Structure 1
């Protein structure tokens, strides 16, 4: 049997790193993609079978170089690219629309939406060649419903959800599944900290009183489950929230 290969973007921390570890445990050769070379190499060094590729998914040239490196990895391992996890993304700011920082909105669209499209477009030929490809799009519950202060992030995630749904229609009849994962409240080391410009107090307040928010490993478990179903089974959309979060606007907090 050929080596099963999985690409994970945004693999240097959080959900991406947890996903890389989980897929490694599932027997995939993991190609971990991110901008931070030192973190990537630390991650890959802890895995059984993995390759680090430094790339910026907002750059056409960088993604093209990543695709070339991946093609070489596939060939050298006599493998097949069966899984792409479009995990790279993020949020910046929580301003109302009338005070929107358009540079932040632009960054969120570039990373969450165009980054997903750019990487998927580059890797679809290899995924199709495997005969059993799966594309995972890491969106968010913010891609399903809006909330005050989340206009830029929700707009980007709604667009990312539209990309996933459109891609599934356009690939109908070809051997590539498209899975959308929509997490709610997930506590990671960097997501909220980055959103609030490094303000640790604001970042911690998001999870204040929530006994058990989701963690990165919970989402990695969901990704692995969808990717390891029999290939004729397509989990179109998986919405996952902590028990404490009944809806986007309703969170049980013990203060």
Structure 2
């Protein structure tokens, strides 16, 4: 049985999730990595002290419940849940967007957060010092053209965090929301543009220093390790070159 505080990170197979798992491990947490791609999280878990890989699709409620049962039988407590799994699909305007893309984004960005939070909240509360982290986005706080489905989903994630904080007032559980702006990872834009490397690269063209996954992980690590009475309600983090979702300084 691990004697460290336990942190669960969803979407830990790449990008912000993988970087956050590394950061929390460095902070002394026993980290449970979840994602659909088993081989990736198994490789990462092998690199970290006291880490476990558990393949999981956060949109599958039965699988999420089975994961919660697994934690109850193998961990003395769970202190942190980082709801990181998410993603964007497409940039079509509302008038022409594919409803299946919107549905997929809602499933992972909103219902995935709901599934994991509901399943692990009893353990987080029982720990006496639990923390729920919702990795939303600046898209959850401002709109932009071509982003309707993703913006709507991330607004949903923001509302989950905001409402949960009200509902848990007085309970020993903090609810933190981290809302990153422009982050350059190996997969986010590529997934959004369905593998089109050229379109994905244009998102960051001329931006000297977009955020990195490690920048966001550093923010999560800092927020989670504040004293127990300190709740970071909402932390928006952008690169210096980005003033808003629609205003970005591009060189050249």
TM-score range, shorter chain: over 0.9
2:245 corresponds to: 248
Give the superposition deviation at 1:61: 1.1
Give the superposition deviation at 1:174: 0.2
1:174-213 map, 5 Å: 174-213=171-210
1:104 corresponds to: 101
Secondary structure at the aligned position of 2:240 is classed as: coil
2:61 corresponds to: 60
| Superposed CA RMSD | 0.9
Secondary structure at the aligned position of 2:79 is classed as: strand
Runs of 4+ aligned residues of structure 1 deviating over 6 Å after TM superposition are none
Normalised by the length of structure 2, the TM-score is 0.98
1:80 corresponds to: 77
Give the superposition deviation at 1:66: 1.1
Contact 1:2 1:80 in 2 (8 A): no
Cα deviation 1:24-54 (Å, max 9, x = unaligned): 0000000000110100110001101100111
Alignment partners' CA distance in 2, 1:2 and 1:237:
30
Alignment partners' CA distance in 2, 1:56 and 1:83:
19
Give the superposition deviation at 1:73: 2.5
Q: Which has the higher strand share?
A: 1
Residue from 151, 154, 164 that aligns with 1:154: 151
Alignment partners' CA distance in 1, 2:87 and 2:227:
31
Cα deviation 1:105-144 (Å, max 9, x = unaligned): 0000000000000000000010001100000001000000
2:44 corresponds to: 43
Cα deviation 1:192-211 (Å, max 9, x = unaligned): 00000000000000000000
Alignment partners' CA distance in 2, 1:157 and 1:172:
23
Give unpaired runs (5+ residues) of structure 1. Answer: none
Alignment partners' CA distance in 2, 1:154 and 1:73:
37
Alignment partners' CA distance in 1, 2:3 and 2:174:
20
1:27 corresponds to: 28
Alignment partners' CA distance in 1, 2:143 and 2:163:
21
Give the superposition deviation at 1:2: 4.0
Alignment partners' CA distance in 2, 1:167 and 1:88:
18
Alignment partners' CA distance in 2, 1:201 and 1:73:
45
Secondary structure at the aligned position of 1:250 is classed as: coil
What is the total number of aligned residue pairs between the two structures?
251
Secondary structure at the aligned position of 2:174 is classed as: strand
2:232 corresponds to: 235
Q: Residue 218 in 1 paired to residue 221 in 2?
A: no
Secondary structure at the aligned position of 2:243 is classed as: strand
Give the superposition deviation at 1:80: 2.2
Give the superposition deviation at 1:248: 1.1
Normalised by the length of structure 1, the TM-score is 0.97
